[in-house]
Amino acid sequence: MRASLLRLTSHTQRARPRHRKGDAAHHSANVCDRQQRAQHCVMRAENVGKDDDVVLVEDKDDERDGERRRKGGLYDDTNVIDARVKLLSWYDDVKRDLPWRRRGRATQQLAYEDVDAKFEPTTASTSEDADAKVRRLAELWRERAFEHGNDGRVGVMSDDQYAYGVLVSEIMSQQTQIERVAEYWRRWTTRWPTAECLANATQDEVNEEWAGLGYYRRAKYLLEGAKYVRDKLGGKYPRDVEGLLKVPGVGPYTASAVASIAFGTPAAAVDGNVYRVLTRACMIRGDPLKGTAAKEIRAVADAFVDPARAGDFNQAMMELGATTCAPKNPKCQQCPLRAWCKGVEEEERTSGAFKVTELPETAKKAPKREEQRAFVVIRRRRADADEDEFLLQKRPSKGLLAGLWEFPNVLVAEETDEVFSARPSRDLRDAHSSLSTSLIGDASSAVAVDAKRGKIIHVFSHIRQVMHYQLYDLVTVIKQEDKDEKDEKENIIITDDANATSTSTSTQPLKWYPASAFERDAVFSTSVQKLYANIARAGVGTIAHSGAGKRARDAADVNSRAQPSIAAFFAPKSHPSTTTSAVV
């Protein structure tokens, strides 16, 4: 069997990075890389012989190294070291200032302070002390106590609290713009500064704080993960990728990101941004999420990650993909990896016939499911209230928008707009009528006024939903002789119980929400806020007929005619002043 002769010393001297003098971090990376190379020349060899300082290595390893050198770019070890230095230098200069991101160079772990590591569950006797501790822990985030100070001393935040904050930021950043994430992250860590604090929250509280970010399953996983860390791990996060993968809701990318950023573990975090950067830089064809392409991307990423500054390196790759190597209109002239980018090289070689934006070759997404839904918006004004109230229904605990509140609705058809427009209009009217009847029940003492209808479109990740809504203003009729029993009469339509109605046939809880609740930030999902805003824009934001005089006139009008049926109760008035109009 033929073998190649390699001197051990030659392997450690082959690649010397060009870095700035006095740069300890880059020097550390270089030393670490030389050590790795020295080990590489003797690893995985099935037959090794020794003659003084000469090492015999199997041809297959030498051929693999030769193949990498022939490919060039980020496949070549020499280029990898230079590219690391360039990328991290670029990141140090341009990285965005985010509330969870260390502004200096992160090359070591923070000191662990046991005084803040444990947070006992709140009890009645210690609630004041518990609240004070929550405020203190939240203050550590605002003071950026996870950073190294100018005096060289390490921060006072525990490494587990920092890992929690990094995890929250990574979960929030999935499918959400980073600027929006920063706003939510600040509120979140003020309310729940540690995993133990979050573990004491309810799902409703978590959903309320998350509302507006979308993909609500992420919030559920954050809560489940916090409980797992508190109950199974004693409040301490695993330091390695394998351990973090056991935390509910944590996948390979998130585990690698948290391990590297919080604990310095040399693990490559590969997300959509990194897929894009590496497929272009290395001209990797095929679907990046599966098969040979996925394996090649993982191999390149693992070899590329800087062992001395793994956390900064992963954030640099994410930053590069988010700000420079964009899906469309990439800023190739500003890219720190341009000198090693095979995609740019190919674009120049073909005079633009090939475009770097052709990569990655992602699989075509399946078309979104089309839904046509009938929404009922029921509004009332109580005599003892100074604002309108709206009836909302709680969604099931599993599935889309699990556990959130929404306007009651029912699926009419899974059809496109074109197909649905050919249906008889009575299909939608019947759906609204049936749903409203199931909600209100026998409401013979009430009348409907100023009904409005319209539609809006809301797009989820896999659903395009057309929300056909019908608005009903409900006015409770109070006869003059029943003034003393006003409160009881006003509640005859739907009770004010926070979780359910006594007259509804719905299996899901119902609740009246004041109009002001929709004007507060982060209370309802985006689709609910969108529907409410559409109603307000239609000029029907308040009920102008809710005074005592109006109720008396309605009572007199009712006494002059036969008792209305339930169908009449929901039917729009036909006089010109209340003609319905579509709002799209």
Query: At which of 263, 289, 323 does a domain end?
Result: 263
Question: Cα(527)–Cα(109) distance, rounded to whole angstroms?
Answer: 42
Q: According to the model, what pLDDT value does residue 212 have?
A: 83
Give domain status of residue 498, yes or no. Answer: yes
Write down the residue that tokens 């009575």 correspond to: 426
Strand order of the β-sheet with 50-51 is 3-7, 54-58, 50-51
How far lies 577's CA from each of 174, 347, 359, 473, in Å? 48, 65, 58, 15
Q: According to the model, what pLDDT value does residue 447 have?
A: 45
Give domain status of residue 160, yes or no. Answer: yes
DSSP symbol at 213: S
Please report, for the domain that includes residue 212, its CATH number: 1.10.340.30
Amino acid residing at 225:
G
Write down the residue that tokens 């996925």 correspond to: 294
CA neighbours closer than 13 Å in the CB half-sphere of residue 97 = 3
Give domain status of residue 540, yes or no. Answer: yes
Number of other CB atoms surrounding residue 76 within 10 Å: 18
Give domain status of residue 286, yes or no. Answer: no
Q: What residues pair up with 57 in beta bridges, in sequence order?
A: 4
Total domains in the chain come to 3
Residue 273 makes CB contacts below 8 A (sequence gap 6+) with: 317, 318, 320, 321, 322, 325
Q: According to the model, what pLDDT value does residue 355 have?
A: 97
Residues 130 and 84 in one domain: no
Residues 400 and 540 in one domain: yes
Q: According to the model, what pLDDT value does residue 523 have?
A: 66
Q: What residues pair up with 380 in beta bridges, in sequence order?
A: 389, 474
Residues 551 and 431 in one domain: yes
Residues 156 and 84 in one domain: no
Annotated active-site residue 170? The verdict is yes
Q: What residues pair up with 177 in beta bridges, in sequence order?
A: none
List per-residue pLDDT tens for the chain, 584 residues long: 333 323 323 333 333 333 444 444 444 444 444 444 444 433 333 333 333 333 333 444 455 555 555 567 899 999 999 999 999 999 999 999 999 998 865 444 434 343 344 434 444 445 668 899 999 999 999 999 998 655 545 568 999 999 999 999 999 999 899 999 999 999 999 999 999 999 999 998 998 899 888 888 999 999 999 999 999 999 999 999 999 999 999 999 999 999 999 999 999 999 999 999 999 999 999 999 999 999 999 999 999 999 999 999 999 999 999 999 999 999 999 999 999 999 999 999 999 999 999 999 988 888 999 999 999 999 888 778 888 999 999 999 888 888 889 999 999 999 999 999 999 999 999 999 899 888 876 543 344 445 578 999 999 889 999 999 999 887 654 444 444 444 443 333 333 333 333 344 457 899 999 998 887 754 688 899 999 998 877 655 443 333 333 333 343 443 333 333 333 333 443 333 333 322 22
Question: Cα(49)–Cα(5) distance, rounded to whole angstroms?
Answer: 10
Query: At which of 41, 70, 94 does a domain end?
Result: 94
Domain of 190 in residue numbering reads as 110-263
β-pairing, 463-476 with 3-7? unpaired
Which of 147, 170, 296, 490 is flagged as catalytic?
170
Q: According to the model, what pLDDT value does residue 417 have?
A: 96
Write down the residue that tokens 């200069």 correspond to: 93
**To 5 degrees, how large is the angle CA 410–CA 416–CA 417?**
85
Give domain status of residue 329, yes or no. Answer: no
Residues 461 and 569 in one domain: yes
**To 5 degrees, how large is the angle CA 18–CA 21–CA 23?**
95
Please report, for the domain that includes residue 569, its CATH number: 3.90.79.10
Write down the residue that tokens 């270089």 correspond to: 30
